[in-house]
């Protein structure tokens, strides 16, 4: 075998860049769609989940239930596509999942509403969301495997952070599309047909992603394992233990990320009576802070380790969550202060998200990496991200307590902080395991 196959640091930089772009674009599409769905949650609720006599809050709860259901199919997708990706390679599975994701997203843009199709409309929407959940479950493990397995030694945190960065870009892209439409169209046009446009844009994005992934090469780590003959794989118990630990380390990122970056618009509208435009501006600022922090956090973790950077993010959320919400709830607080607060919240989440992908990749050997890190991520997201809107909306409805989002993210980040303490300080300096 050549040095190129053995040593990631000898990979041609052009190959590394191609892998980085090809891995990133699928994440962008995935999170662009999930962002758009979250930002248009109130409009989707009115179009798909509001028969005669139903309240707006009931419809929003059903919309988030559909949102959560898609997340609960992510682990199934992670297991199915991850197992295949660990057996036959990262490239073919990444091609398949981006086709499924972009096709299903575009399909939402043409689905008939409740007014047209009746009770079948929400079921069709939910079915499409399930397809998205399956494909999204297979996306993360493959994309992070490609990024980190192509990364030069000592730069896995930086390369892996591009997965999280494209999440931020996807959420910002979704928020930007929603904000442009909300500004350019009358409210009635936005509710009638304008909301469909961002979903339809997934089709050309998907074609671009397909072209990039068809040019992708198989990773050196997978090639090395494929030609090395039979290897001793970790036991099911060892993999399960690593997955559970990974979930604990990620749950703060999952809970705080979705609460601050996606659920925020609906919370501001339904609980604090903000306008749609005001809610979107706040969310754009939060996602901007998130995006600005991710790549520096990933690069910093290559220098000082994953543990201190991710712990700083988790502890920041614990300290800032209640003051942030109290500031947003204060009608007399200046707009610039509220904007700065949500920007800082996004930065705190970015500190966890930047090193997170590399941290996960380092927990699993090549033979189970696609499956293991995909399951850890998708299970964490299913429970703590996908359910965030449903849990927060239902609890606020039941308790009338506007501080519910703060309780939610603080509890998750406390658990994550404890789990992150178990990280070894030198994992960022060692090679990925075969």
Task: Burial-class residue 310 by CB neighbours within 10 Å (0-12, 13-18, 19+).
Answer: buried
Q: Which residues of the chain have pLDDT under 70?
A: 1-11, 51-62, 64, 67-68, 229-232, 265
Q: Is residue 374 part of a domain?
A: yes
Q: Is residue 430 part of a domain?
A: no
Q: Is residue 384 part of a domain?
A: yes
CATH number at residue 240: 1.20.1250.20
Q: What is the chain's alpha carbon radius of gyration, rounded to the nearest angstrom?
A: 21
3-state helix, strand, coil in the chain (%, to 5): 80, 0, 20
User: Do 370 and 82 form a contact (C-beta atoms < 8 A)?
Assistant: yes
Q: Is residue 303 part of a domain?
A: yes
Q: Is residue 433 part of a domain?
A: no
**Closest to 175 measured CA to CA, from 266, 52, 70:** 266
- Does residue 151 sit in helix, strand or coil? coil
Q: Is residue 373 part of a domain?
A: yes
Here the tokens at position 59 are 């419809």
d(CA 210, CA 113): 30
d(CA 255, CA 387): 9
d(CA 175, CA 180): 9
For residue 234, what are the domain limits? 3-424
Q: Is residue 47 part of a domain?
A: yes
Here the tokens at position 183 are 């500004």
Considering its fold, how many domains does the chain have in total? Answer: 1
Q: Is residue 16 part of a domain?
A: yes
- The pLDDT score that the predictor gives to residue 275 is 74
**Closest to 168 measured CA to CA, from 21, 349, 17:** 349
Residue 236 Cα distances to 75, 78, 200, 248, angstroms:
16, 16, 41, 19
Residue 401 Cα distances to 45, 71, 394, 396, angstroms:
23, 26, 11, 5
The set of residues, in sequence order, having a beta carbon less than 8 Å from that of 226 and lying 6+ positions away, is 89
Kindly report, residue by residue over 276-321, the tens digit of the pLDDT. 777 778 878 888 899 999 999 999 999 999 999 999 999 999 999 9
Q: How many CB atoms lie within 10 A of CB 433?
A: 15
Kindly report, residue by residue over 231-274, the tens digit of the pLDDT. 667 888 899 999 999 999 999 999 998 888 777 767 777 777 77
- The pLDDT score that the predictor gives to residue 8 is 41
pTM of the model: 0.82
- The pLDDT score that the predictor gives to residue 157 is 93
> Up-side HSE of residue 214: CA atoms within 13 Å toward CB?
7
Taking the CA atoms of 98, 102, 107 and 108 in sequence, report the sign of the dihedral they define. Answer: positive
The set of residues, in sequence order, having a beta carbon less than 8 Å from that of 164 and lying 6+ positions away, is 294, 298, 350, 353, 354, 356, 357
User: Do 239 and 372 form a contact (C-beta atoms < 8 A)?
Assistant: yes
């Amino acid at each position: 075998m050549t040095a190129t196959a053995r040593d990631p640091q000898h990979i041609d930089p052009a190959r590394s860049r191609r892998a980085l772009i090809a891995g990133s674009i699928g994440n962008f599409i995935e999170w662009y769609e999930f962002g758009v769905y979250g930002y248009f949650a109130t409009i989707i609720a009115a179009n798909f989940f509001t028969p005669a006599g139903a309240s707006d809050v009931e419809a929003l709860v059903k919309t988030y239930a559909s949102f959560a259901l898609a997340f609960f199919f992510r682990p199934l997708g992670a297991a199915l596509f991850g197992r295949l990706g660990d057996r036959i390679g990262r490239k073919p599975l990444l091609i398949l999942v981006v086709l499924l994701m972009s096709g299903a997203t575009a399909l939402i843009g043409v689905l008939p509403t409740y007014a047209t199709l009746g009770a079948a409309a929400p079921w069709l929407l939910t079915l499409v969301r399930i397809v998205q959940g399956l494909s999204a479950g297979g996306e993360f493990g493959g994309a992070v495997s490609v990024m980190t397995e192509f990364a030069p030694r000592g730069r896995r945190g930086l390369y892996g952070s591009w997965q999280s960065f494209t999440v931020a870009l996807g959420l910002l892209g979704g928020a930007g599309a929603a904000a442009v439409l909300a500004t350019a169209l009358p409210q009635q046009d936005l509710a009638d047909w304008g909301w469909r446009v961002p979903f339809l844009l997934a089709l050309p994005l998907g074609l671009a992603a397909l072209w990039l992934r068809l040019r992708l090469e198989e990773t050196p780590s997978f090639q090395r394992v494929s030609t090395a003959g039979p290897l001793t794989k970790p036991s099911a118990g060892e993999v399960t233990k690593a997955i559970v630990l990974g979930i604990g380390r990620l749950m703060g990122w999952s809970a705080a990320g979705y609460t601050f970056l996606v659920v925020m618009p609906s919370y501001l509208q339904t609980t604090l009576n903000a306008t749609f435009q005001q809610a979107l501006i706040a969310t754009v600022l939060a996602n901007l802070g998130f995006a600005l922090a991710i790549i520096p956090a990933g690069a910093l973790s290559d220098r000082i380790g994953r543990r201190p950077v991710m712990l700083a993010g988790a502890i920041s959320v614990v300290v800032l969550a209640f003051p942030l919400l109290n500031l947003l709830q204060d009608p007399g607080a200046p707009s610039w202060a509220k904007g700065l607060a949500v920007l800082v919240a996004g930065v705190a989440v970015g500190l966890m998200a930047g090193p997170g992908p590399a941290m996960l990749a380092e927990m699993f050997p090549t033979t189970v990496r696609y499956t293991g890190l995909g399951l850890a991520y998708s299970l964490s997201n299913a429970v703590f991200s996908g359910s965030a809107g449903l849990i927060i909306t239902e609890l606020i409805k039941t308790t009338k307590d506007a501080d519910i989002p703060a309780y939610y993210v603080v509890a998750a980040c406390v658990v994550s902080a404890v789990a992150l303490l178990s990280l070894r300080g030198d994992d960022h300096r060692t090679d990925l395991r075969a």
